[in-house]
Amino acid sequence: MKRWIFLALLIGLFVAVLITVRGNLPFMAVLGKSMEPELKAGDLIWIEELSPSEVKVGDVIIYNVDPRIQKGYNYSPVVAHRVTKVIDSEEGASWHTKGDYNSGEDPFTVLPQHLQGKVGRQISYLGIPLLFFQSKQGEIFAIVALVLLALHLYAVEIGQNIGKAQRAVFAPVIEENQRGLEGMQQALGKLAAATELYGQHLQSHTTAIISLSEASQELKESAEELRKNANKQGKVLNELMKVVEQTSPTNERLTDGILSRSRQ
């Protein structure tokens, strides 16, 4: 509740500033230098009531400017200029005006219905913020600042409402994604189990291969041993053959002697 009050006060202040800029409150900010040195740009002046019949030459009056004149001659909506001439007619009094600082007479006549009053008390530089809000940039700044402030004050509520809206809109998609995620998790679980089983089989195959490799190594070593033994046996046989060949003539002579004795 306090936030609403605070925000409402700021909005009311902004509206009051806009109204002030447009000359609908009893004070206004001086925009240009046309009335220097009496009135300086940025001064805040109070508007004193003044009836058309009381206006006289030399008074600094405050009056509204017709929109067509504003556009055609680049005038502000509200102007404070000094009266240089009073014109009396059957329709009532009207006035010629001009600024004090190096400016000519205004190219129009101020009518009674445009009169707001005359310059009263003034405060230097206090009208500068009002001049800022008189510009388009100032109005945009104020609006953006109020919106940002409102968002800051109600950030939690806005976030909750956005979350509810998102859940309402995206709930079917989220549910579908959740089901897909669960299915993916199940598939990943099956894949992990299959991978583990394959690892076990691969380990058993690896053990068998290692055993075969060891047996093959043993066979290779046995064959090498047999080859070495065969080489040794071959050498022995060769030696025996040589011995036999060397002893064979002697055996023939012995055999012939035995046979000749037996014949005698």
Sign of CA dihedral 20, 23, 29, 31: positive
Pairing assessment for the beta strands 44-48 and 60-64 based on DSSP bridges: unpaired
Query: Is 117 a member of any domain?
Result: yes
What pLDDT is stored for residue 125 in this prediction?
85
Burial class (CB in 10 A: 0-12, 13-18, 19+), 20: buried
- Is 125 in the same domain as 181? no
Q: Does residue 161 belong to any structural domain of this protein?
A: no
CA-only gyration radius of the chain, Å: 60
Say whether both 117 and 60 belong to one domain: yes
Angle at 38 between CA 70 and CA 14, to 5 degrees: 55
Among the candidates 119, 153, 187, a domain finishes at 153
Assess if residue 14 is contained within a domain: yes
Q: Tens-of-pLDDT digits for all 264 residues of the chain?
A: 566 676 666 676 666 655 555 555 788 889 888 999 999 988 999 999 999 999 999 999 999 999 999 988 989 889 999 999 999 988 789 999 999 987 789 999 999 999 999 999 989 888 888 778 777 787 787 788 778 877 777 777 777 777 777 667 766 766 777 777 777 778 787 878 878 777 777 777 677 677 777 767 877 777 777 777 767 767 767 777 777 667 655 555 545 555 555 555
Same-domain check for residues 28 and 101: yes
The total domain count for the chain is 2
**Do 129 and 236 share a structural domain?**
no
* Residues 134, 188 within the same domain: no
Indicate whether 104 and 230 sit together in one domain.
no
Whether residue 86 contacts residue 57, with contact meaning beta carbons closer than 8 Å, is answered with yes
One domain, residues 26 and 137: yes
pTM over 0.75? The answer is: no
Query: Is 141 found in the same domain as 65?
Result: yes
Examine residue 62 and state whether it is found in any structural domain, yes or no.
yes
Let me know if residue 165 belongs to a domain: no
What is the rounded CA–CA span in Å between residue 208 and residue 195? 20
Q: Return the CATH number at 67.
A: 2.10.109.10
CA 89 to chain centre: 68
185 alpha-carbon distance from chain centroid: 32
Assess contact for 119 and 78: CB atoms under 8 A.
no
Q: Tell me whether residue 137 is in a domain.
A: yes
182 in a structural domain: yes
Give residue 234's identity as a one-letter amino acid code. G
pLDDT at position 203 is 75
DSSP 76-113: -SEEEEEEEEEE--TT--EEEEE-SSS--B-SS-B-GG
Q: Is there a single domain that holds both residue 222 and residue 119?
A: no
* 43 falls within a domain: yes
Closest CA to 78 of 90, 86, 66, 94: 66
Same-domain status, 35 and 108: yes
> In which domain, by residue range, is 225 found?
172-247
Q: Are 182 and 214 in the same domain? A: yes
Residues 141 and 63 in one domain: yes
Rounded-to-integer distance, Cα 119 and Cα 31, Å: 14
**Final residue before a domain boundary, out of 153, 188, 203:** 153
